[in-house]
Structure 1
Amino acid sequence: MKRPIRDQIMWPLMGLLLVAIAANAIFSAWWMSTRNRTALEARQRQIIGVLEESSFPVTQTVIEKLRQLTGDELVVWDTAERRVVVGTLPLADLSAYEFAEDSAAEQQGPPRRQTLGDTRYLVRVCRIRGFPTQRLAILTPDHSMRKASRDAIWPPLAVGLATVLVSIPLTLAISASWARRIHSLEKHVETIAQGDFGLELSGGHVDDELSRLVQSINSMSRQLRAMREQLIQGERTRLVAQLTAGIGHQLRNGIAGAKLAIQLHESRCHQVTDTSLIVARNQLALVEEEVQGLLSLGKSDARPPGVVDLRLIVMTVRDLVSLSCEHQQIELTVLVEDPPQSVIGFTDGLRAAFLNLALNAIDAAGAGGQVWLVLKSDATLNSDATHCRLIVEDDGSGPPTELEESLFESFVTSKPEGIGLGLTVAATVARTHHGTLTWSRSDGRTRFELKLPMSAATKTGV
């Protein structure tokens, strides 16, 4: 059965308030009744003490004054004549009533109850000094005690009812606010359950349990979006690997045939210094490296990794792209730091990754532009190098703004003729070698940096 949170909050709270109000009223009535009774007994004993020790006669004037002071009725009863000597009661005949003297035990205990006419009294009786046959009866109306108890009940009841009247709208407002927040949270979770990850809900201005729950759900939504993107990227990479593997094998066979034809032509014509053949061999080598990079995408290498000389990687890529730079009148600058730097990995994959970065830089720089190929370490004056960096920079316009977040994903490209796998290959190689591939743009230059951990041989200077 559905129970709104409003009812779960309000009704227990109202029930608790009503129980507290009733308990408070009952306690107040009991406490007031006990206090009044104690005060009554003390007052009656004081009157008895005064009159028992007094030497003056108890006259009508005296008892009238005492009645005005205490509010009690007083009667002087003559036991011998069985009549009222003086008294304040308006009853015409009191001879039918007996006012027996209290015993010693009764004087220490509570007053006895006695009904005179239609009124019930709390009665205490004592002797009068100098008048052996006379007794003084002090009668306190019982209804005054009950009235005091009733008067004690009303203040806590009034305060309690006022508290209830204020608490009901306040509780409704608080529970309605919580209900709205929980309802929005429920809708948000339903949206996430339907697969719309990444949306975030505001936690509100109050830092409470619901706000922290909202933060946790927002964090879960972000993590689910990241996991989905990773799964999509993994599936995309797997499909790309399958596609490029088939195409790559066909291209490699065609490249092998073209190289064989060039070699046969050279052996027959003996024109080894022919520039056109040199350019052809260079372009074939360039295409072969790109094909090798495609074949390595999403495919683990069964060979054990070895020590890779990064200077050799940089020089090889320089040789492969130098003719293209010369043809487009692009200024190519190569900066290699000493001492020699090496990493543990695979030469083919690193060379293909660095070559892809260099070719992208050449395309971005355009005719008359500048491209920099840099190899450096992260050594400082106070620490030894732990990583080395393969850096490619160009002075082109940089990637479009809309592609900045997805630059390393498969099939993401700004080139009309591109397929968007070059940076994917480079990023995959970086992860395979426990490194990172990042990019930045400053001072009119676009910079791609492949950061790799150095091998132990480089760190020890071997």
Structure 2
Amino acid sequence: MRLPRVPLTWLLGAVAILASLMFVVSVASLTRVISMSSEQRMERSRELIHREFARWLTEPDAEDPRARSMVVGLRGGLASPPSVSDGPWSLRAGLSVEVDDALNALASSANGDGISFTTIEASEGTILLGTRRHDDGRLLWAAYSIGRPRFLDTWRNTVVVLTLATVLLGAIALVAVVGTTRGARALKRSLAALEQDLSADVARPAIAELAGVADGVSSLARSLAEAQHESEALSVELRRTERVAALGRVVAGLAHEVRNPLASMKLRVDVARGAEDVPPEIVSELEAVDEEIARLDRLVTDFLLVSGRRLGRRIDSDLGELTRRRALLLAPWARERGVSLAVEGNAHAHVDPDACARAVDNLLKNAVEASPTGAQVRVRVSPCDDGAAVEVEDRGPGVPEARVAELFEPFFTTKPEGTGLGLAVSRAIAVASGGQLSYHREEGVTRFALHLPPTGARA
């Protein structure tokens, strides 16, 4: 049968708590024995002296009696009478002078079967001395220290410190166990949340080691989230590139098939317009046909730009002047819609001027068409860290959040009319120029920012 797995932290905590309890119980028992009161020590000493005397009387041939105690051993024995009437008794005890003198005094006066007790203040401390006369005339004696042990106060203080230290260690172990367990559970929940969402917050436990693990997990999750985001962006870009490549192959053939007839049509229109005696109404119609031919040619050009056709020669250009010129040309059309254009700032960029004008035209038209009557489209031209920027702002409704990802795709439009190529063409021009086109919506303001490379840049 497989035994259940027990966490190591619980085992360590249980061992620490058990050891603490055993130490506290042992120290308490020892302290209780050591810290007996004076009366208790006196009574214990009397019991020991009676016991040793009884043993000696019942076993006269035994060795000199010795008693053992946790603190001080009982000392005693038989004293022989003096060989000279005024000489001292032979005690063989090796006790201090005070005890010897007291024993000699008791020996001189002891008689009968009774036990005589006296206390003496000697160098060993307070001594309880008991004597009894033996049948053969010798003196049976026993001495026991009953004074408070000198080391008791030191031992008691040591016991208090050790007990507090043990309790503190037990508390630390308990806190460590609880903190580790809670931290591990929090990390487990965070890992479960990260399985669903890499942006989920990772709980940071109070235990320093687990907090380090949590920081590592959080950093790893952020890295994985960034890698996932980049992977998704690359997948989107790859799909877009594949679509553009497929579109490019189609557009290349379409441009060839369409532009040849357009060129022939334009030539015939130009010849007809140059003929003599052409009625004015026919000239007007021929001009309208010429405009439509030009519009179709621009449409083919737009398709080619979106499909990745290279731009014309790039030169250092005055971006502010170019933008003002395009705004001036579009101003009458904008006024018809009740919208005004305002351009400020200046900067220079390394671009194809014709392509850049197409991109600016598309952004201005898009902003005017999105603006309500009476509004103003603001255009700001300014240098930036990576070149120059043209920012076009309007107060139109913007693009629904759910469709922002489609904003620069070919044929995307939220308007009932239009081809949906304007922003796609502007973005294609920005990318082909080495820049980018971005969209922002904040506090009711829509902003398109066209970033272009600085002057002196080379393709």
Aligned: 1:257 with 2:261? yes
Question: Per the alignment, in what secondary structure is the counterpart of residue 64 of structure 1?
Answer: strand
Task: Summarize the alignment of residues 55-454 of structure 1 with structure 2, pairs less than 5 Å apart.
Answer: 57-58=105-106, 59=109, 64-66=117-119, 74-75=130-131, 83-85=137-139, 87=141, 137-138=142-143, 173-191=178-196, 198-203=198-203, 208-253=211-256, 254-270=258-274, 274=283, 277-278=286-287, 280-282=289-291, 284-286=293-295, 288-289=297-298, 291-297=300-306, 299=308, 301=310, 305-310=314-319, 313-314=322-323, 329=337, 331=339, 333=341, 335=343, 341-347=347-353, 349-365=355-371, 372=377, 374=379, 376-378=381-383, 387-394=387-394, 396-403=396-403, 407-408=407-408, 413-415=413-415, 422-440=422-440, 446-454=446-454
What displacement does 1:261 show? Answer: 0.6
Q: Which string of whole-angstrom CA distances, capped at 9 and with x for unpartnered residues, describes residues 362-411 of structure 1?
A: 43247x676758463349xxxxx984332434453333344457645677
Question: By how many angstroms is 1:39 displaced?
Answer: 6.6
Which of the pair has the greater relative contact order for Cα pairs under 8 Å at 6+ separation?
Answer: 1
Q: Alignment partner of 2:388: what SS?
A: strand
Secondary structure of 1:216's aligned partner:
helix
Would the aligned equivalents of 1:297 and 1:428 in 2 still touch at CA under 8 Å? yes
Deviation at 1:220, TM superposition (A): 2.7
Give the distance between the partners of 2:279 and 2:382, measured in 1 at CA. Answer: 40
8 Å contact from structure 1 (residues 434, 452) kept in 2? yes
1:411–1:421 Cα contact (<8 Å) kept: yes
State the secondary structure of the residue aligned to 1:451: strand
Mapped contact 1:238–1:298 kept (Cα < 8 A):
no
Q: Whole-Å Cα distance in 1 between the matches of residues 279 and 23 of structure 2?
A: 113
> Separation in 1 of the partners of 2:75 and 2:358?
112
What's the Cα RMSD here? 5.7
Distance 1:168 1:54, change over 3 A: closer
1:371–1:392 CA contact under 8 A, matched in 2: no
Name the SS for the 2:96 alignment partner. Answer: helix
Aligned to 1:129: none
Match of 2:246, SS state, is helix
Alpha-carbon distance change, 15 to 312 in structure 1, aligned in 2, over 3 angstroms: same
Q: Summarize the Cα distance change of 1:156–1:205 in structure 2 as closer, same or farther, 3 Å threshold.
A: closer
d(CA) in 2 for partners of 1:73 and 1:298? Answer: 120
Q: Report the AA paired with residue 72 of structure 2.
A: L
Post-superposition Cα deviations, 1:111-133, rounded to whole Å, max 9, x if no partner, equal: xxxxxxxxxxxxxxxxxxxxxxx
CA contact (8 A) 1:6 1:172 kept: no
Match of 2:50 in 1: none
Cα 1:348/1:10, change in 2 over 3 Å: farther
Q: Sort the Cα spacing of 1:310 and 1:159 in 2 relative to 1 into closer, same or farther, 3 A.
A: closer
Q: Compare 250-259 and 267-276 and name the one that shifted more.
A: 267-276
Compared CA separation, residues 430 and 65, structure 1 to 2 (3 A): farther
Supply the AA of the counterpart residue of 1:85.
L
User: SS of 2:271's equivalent?
Assistant: helix
TM-score between both structures, scaled by the size of structure 2: 0.59
- Structure 1: distance between partners of 2:99 and 2:244: 119
Deviation at 1:312, TM superposition (A): 7.2
AA in 2 matched with 1:345: V
Q: Tell me by how many angstroms 1:447 deviates.
A: 3.5
Structure 1 gaps of 5+ residues are 88-136, 142-150, 192-196, 380-384, 458-462
Q: Aligned partner of 1:14: which letter?
A: A
Percent identity of equivalent pairs: 17
| TM-score calculated relative to the size of structure 1 | 0.59
Structure 1 pair 239/283, CA: closer, same or farther in 2 (3 Å)?
farther
Say if 1:332 and 1:221 are closer, same or farther in 2 by CA, change over 3 A. Answer: same
Cα distance 1:419–1:228, how it changes in 2: closer, same or farther (>3 A)? farther
- Decide whether the 8 Å contact of 2:20 with 2:167 is kept in 1: no
| Structure 2 residue identity aligned to 1:49 | V
Change (3 A) 1:439 1:26: same
Please say which of residues 211-220 and 259-268 is displaced more in the overlay.
Answer: 211-220
